[in-house]
Amino acid sequence: MSEKAQPTYAKKLRLVVIGGVAGGASAAARARRLSEDAEIIVIERGPDVSFANCGLPYHIGGEIQDRGKLALQTPATLKSMLRLDVRNLTEALDIDREAHTVRIRNVETGVEEDLAYDKLILSPGASPLTPPLPGIELPGIYTLRNLQDMDQIKEAAAEARHVAIIGAGFIGLEMAEQLIHLGKEVALVELVDQVLPQMDKDMVQAVEEDLREHGVELILGDGIDGFEKMSDGLRAKLKSGQKLETDMVILSIGVRPENALAKAAGLELGARGHIVANAWMQTTDPDIYAVGDASQTTDPILGGPTAIALGGPANRQGRTAADHIFLGDKAQPYPGSIGTSIVRVFDVAAGVTGFTEKRLRQAGVDFGKTVVSDFDHASYYPGATHLTLKILWDKADGRLLGGQAFGANGVDKRLDVLATAIKGKLTVEELEHLELAYAPPFGSAKDPVNIAGFSANNIRSGFVQPVYSLAESPANAQVVDVRPPEMVALKAIPGAINIPYPQLRDRLGELDPARPVVTICALGKTSYFAARVLAQRGFDAFAHVGGAKVEPSVQQVEQPKLPAGPSCCSTPAAPFVKAASAESDEEVVKLDATGMACPGPILRVKEAATALKPGQVLEVRASDAGFKNDLPAFCRANGYECLSVQKDKGVVVGRLRLSTDVLPAGWRPSGSPARSGGGASGPRNGATLVCFSGDLDKAMATFIIANGAVAMGGKATIFFTFWGLNVLRKDVAPASAVEGKSFMDKMFGWMLPRGADKLPLSQMHMAGMGTRMMKDRMKSKNLPNLLGLMEEAKKAGVRLVACTMSMDAMGIRAEELIDGVELGGVAEFLGASGDTGTNLFI
């Protein structure tokens, strides 16, 4: 392949560009700026030669209202401004490389002609994938590539109630967001088990949560298998057998390069069908260049081929090709693409640059990684929200290989810094000392990028042993949750010992020095501190990187409870500010808890709520992501009325007031002495029960009382501890089948009854004969059995809570319990007891 170009010509050069939009239009515009004499002809198959294809979803959703703003240039403006000969609605049919001609056809008239060229630039782009599935050609199935596609989708969406989007990449997520803005029901189907397959799974959990919060139905780990026509819509058939009824379908499952011209001309194609180009975007024919989504260049990070379908690279590649045609060796070569991408999904932005963990594994690279969370600007400045970064580096030399980020604000800034660092071949050591813009409204003295460098170098230097998920913990490890007890009560970590970090030095005797210790906190910082304490005291200590925020086993364990006391790591919030309510005569007490990590916001709410007077409303703003779930749970547990909880751009705004019928436990008018009883002044209904026994008759009595309490209009919670846990066990294979269990844990699993149907009677069991007789008698007398009582309890809303300490002692894992069981500790029982008038131990 030649890397030379002739910078001068005896005659006027004719440049033909096939394809407009990003790459082709940029090449033609740059060519005109370099040569006033050249004849420049642009061939475009569609009606629009230059439009903002990245803005198409936002016009569909109404954020970009003026359609005309998406048409960046027209044939007329390009002719008047740049003297370009633009031939839209014209298709290139064939390239004769020897004759230096292109066969073209007007798609309206059908007239064909041969167009001579001196230099040819191919910018055909990429077309959306439409796999050969049954029903793929049915009306109502759309792809989004150009303005005409956009118009069709916008028109169809106006009449649709439900839309199914196939593919949860960047475009799929943008379309889901915009359709929700239009008030549509949206189902998002993705073949892999996460949204944004371009990123690592641990970095998209917040995006998935935000999608669900806004009503998007996520169907993950399931692919499309075909479509059927219905009388009033479509039916999408999934590989799992599930059928999804919808009004319209948008396919967003990837793109493939438009390579037919290049292939027919004998140009070299890459493994994925892209047109191979060198550093100046020349193909194997030195007079033909290829730019944009259809071209293949060199990966600047690890070497080897790469193809990135993004507008930014396409624009720059078009410029490089034009420069090489008119400047020759003076042109700057194209340095390759690293794929920096970002997407906004409602309140969250997420993005990636360079390599991900998945791609590095595929490439066989030995890499290191870390995940850090901090605030997007100074935590004490109002409105600070959490930002999470993940960086990956080459273990051999520490060179940065990739970065990912998510958060409400500041994601683009950090991605840009990491992208620049990757292109500059910086190491993670150099991230520590990057000097980035800082003032309280914009950043922190230690930017999250700096902190990512600190964390990476702690790992590289051996200063800390990392663990990235509890499932990867060393064998026989002790998991120590160093968060404050208030946070543990809100969201427990199964199997962990809670020793708050400030108490750790004084409670080392509770740990076995012969066993490894894994420390975990909310965001990863405090777990590192704790691991350093333990390591210097002789423990084999490991720190969980990223903390509970990214730990998979914690994500589904929501335990919203009343914090039990002050937190060692909470920071002062702004003073309460009183203001008149715009909606009623109630006085509003405002509390700013932004910039505080959990449990700081909920502790401040507890303090402020206790001081409320009748007729006052507490309005609190918090940037902790979990606060949206924590506030309603706090109100339920303590008798407050939760008026509203909304999230806007990463900040949760919640309002609560004193309940009109039940005063919360411990509440007293502001300034008055505490009541000696400390209880609620209003009536309390329901029951809180501790099921300690694993006997059939006692378990039945427990559920009968709980169901009765709910039937009387109260609430009921059953707390299962020790032998009572057997009531909740699934009747499945022996516990030895659960991976990672110790021998003693397996022994307990063999000896204990598996589930409610295997429980013995407390009296007259008689090796099982008495129990069978009792079940038969109850059936003959039409009395309920235990399994029926349990189903009735679930439907009635009885809360079933398993004691995590007892589970650990007996070697029972969460996956061995029936569905619908929550995990909790003594604070769970005490919090529930405060809500009810009856407390029983069975």
558 vs 813: CA distance, rounded Å:
17
What pLDDT, on the 0 to 100 scale, is given for residue 482? 95
Owning domain of residue 113: 14-127+257-330
Best mean pLDDT range from 427-441, 666-680, 774-788: 427-441
Q: Which residue type occupies 299? A: D
Residues 822, 706 within the same domain? yes
- With respect to residue 748, please indicate whether it lies within any of the assigned structural domains: yes
Residue 256 pLDDT exceeds 60: yes
Q: Tell me what the pLDDT averaged over the chain comes to.
A: 87
Q: Do 420 and 380 share a domain, yes or no?
A: yes
- CATH code assigned at 283: 3.50.50.60
pLDDT > 60? residue 640: yes
* Separation in Å, CA 547 to CA 324, 659, 731, 840: 50, 36, 33, 37
- The closest alpha carbon to 644, from 583, 577, 714, belongs to 583
Identify the CA nearest to 63 among candidates 50, 74, 54, 75. 54
Residues 321, 379, single domain; the answer is no
268 in the same domain as 122: yes
Query: pLDDT tens digits for 191-246?
Result: 999 999 999 999 999 999 999 999 999 999 999 999 999 999 999 999 999 999 99
The yes-or-no verdict on residue 553 having pLDDT over 80 is: no
Does residue 690 share a domain with residue 742?
yes
**Distance between CA atoms of 564 and 562, rounded to whole angstroms?**
6
Pairing of strands 295-298, 305-306: antiparallel
Report pLDDT for 66: 94
Residue 574 has pLDDT above 50, yes or no: no
pLDDT over threshold 90, residue 820: no
pLDDT band at 668 (very low <50, low <70, confident <90, very high): very low
Q: Is residue 6 part of a domain?
A: no
Domain for residue 375, yes or no? Answer: yes
Band (664; pLDDT cuts 50, 70, 90): low
**One of 54, 521, 568, 635 is an active-site residue; which one?**
54
> pLDDT-derived band of residue 837, with 50, 70 and 90 as boundaries?
low
Q: Which of 398, 457, 409, 453 is nearest to 431 (CA)?
A: 453
Residue 8 falls within a domain, yes or no?
no
- Average pLDDT value for residue range 774-782: 73
Answer yes or no: do 641 and 744 share one domain. Answer: no
Q: Is the pLDDT of residue 402 over 80?
A: yes
Confidence of residue 740 (pLDDT cuts 50, 70, 90): low
Could you tell me the two tokens for 814?
């969460």
pLDDT at res. 749: 74
* Domain contains 341: no
Across the range 585-604, mean pLDDT stands at 81
Give the lowest-confidence range in 26-35, 50-59, 171-180. 50-59
Instruction: Tell me: do 373 and 514 sit in the same domain.
Output: no
Position 598 confidence tier, pLDDT thresholds 50, 70, 90: low
Q: 585 falls in which pLDDT band (50, 70, 90)?
A: low
Q: Which residue has the higher pLDDT, 827 or 708?
A: 708
pLDDT of res. 615: 83
Tokens 């939760």 identify what position? Answer: 642
Instruction: Read off the tokens for 683.
Output: 């009536």
pLDDT exceeds cutoff 90 at 658: no
Domain end call among 215, 230, 253: 253
54 in active site: yes
Phi, psi of 214 (to 5 degrees): -95, 10
Q: pLDDT band for position 584 (50/70/90)?
A: low
Distance CA 301, CA 309 (A): 17
- In this prediction, residues 732-752 reach a mean pLDDT of 66
The arithmetic mean of pLDDT across residues 243-252, rounded, is 96
Pair of tokens at residue 167: 């593919």
Where is 529: in which H helix or E strand? helix 525-536
Backbone angles phi, psi at 367, to 5 degrees: -125, 160
**How confident is the model over 329-368, as pLDDT tens digits?**
899 999 999 999 999 999 899 999 999 999 999 999 999 9
Kindly tell me if the per-residue pLDDT of 759 is higher than 50. yes
Whether the pLDDT of residue 782 is over 70: the answer is: no
Measured at the CA of 308, the angle between CA 303 and CA 313, to 5 degrees, comes to 100
pLDDT band at residue 551 under the 50/70/90 scheme? confident
Q: What is the mean pLDDT of residues 46-55?
A: 88
Q: Is the pLDDT of residue 396 over 60?
A: yes
Higher pLDDT, 74 or 543: 543
Give 835 or 125, the one with higher predicted confidence.
125
E strand or H helix at 394, and its extent? strand 386-394
Which residues on adjacent β-strands are paired with residue 16?
41, 120
Confidence (pLDDT) at 559: 37
Peptide bond into 552 cis (omega under 30): no
Q: How far apart are CA 385 and CA 625, in angstroms?
A: 8
| Final residue belonging to a domain, choices 663, 683, 703 | 683
Q: Is residue 39 part of a domain?
A: yes
Residue 336, in any domain of the structure: no
Q: 265 and 225, same structural domain?
A: no
CA 587, chain centre distance (Å): 38
Mean local confidence (pLDDT), 387-402: 97
CATH number (domain holding residue 769): 3.40.1260.10
**pLDDT > 70: what percent of the chain?**
88
Q: Distance (Å, rounded) from C-alpha 824 to C-alpha 817?
A: 14
Domain end point (choices 648, 683, 718) = 683
Does residue 786 fall inside a structural domain? yes
Cα separation, 539 vs 110, whole angstroms: 80
Residues 775-782, mean pLDDT to the nearest whole number: 72
Distance CA 98, CA 266 (A): 12
**Whole-number Å distance between alpha carbons of 467 and 370:** 10
Model confidence at 420, pLDDT cuts 50, 70, 90, reads very high
The per-residue pLDDT for range 458-491, each reduced to its tens digit, is 999 999 999 999 999 999 999 999 998 877 876 7
Evaluated on CA atoms 671, 676, 681, 685, the torsion sign reads positive
Q: Which tokens hold the place of 415?
A: 């991605």
CATH of the domain at 600: 3.30.110.40
Residues 693 and 835 occupy one common structural domain: yes
Q: Distance (Å, rounded) from C-alpha 35 to C-alpha 30?
A: 9
Claim to verify: residue 755 and residue 804 sit in the same structural domain: yes
CATH number at residue 542: 3.40.250.10
CA dihedral 577, 581, 585, 589 (to 10 degrees): -30
**Pairing of the two strands 233-238 and 224-230:** antiparallel
Please report the pLDDT score of residue 663 as a whole number. 54
Residues 696 and 835 in one domain: yes
Mean pLDDT of 96-123: 97
Same domain assignment for residues 266 and 375: no
Q: What is the pLDDT of residue 797?
A: 85
The terminus-to-terminus CA distance of the chain in angstroms comes to 83
Return the pLDDT at 762. Answer: 83
Mean pLDDT over residues 94-112, rounded?
A: 96
State yes or no: pLDDT of 423 exceeds 50: yes
Number of domains in the chain: 6
Tokens of 825: 């500790």
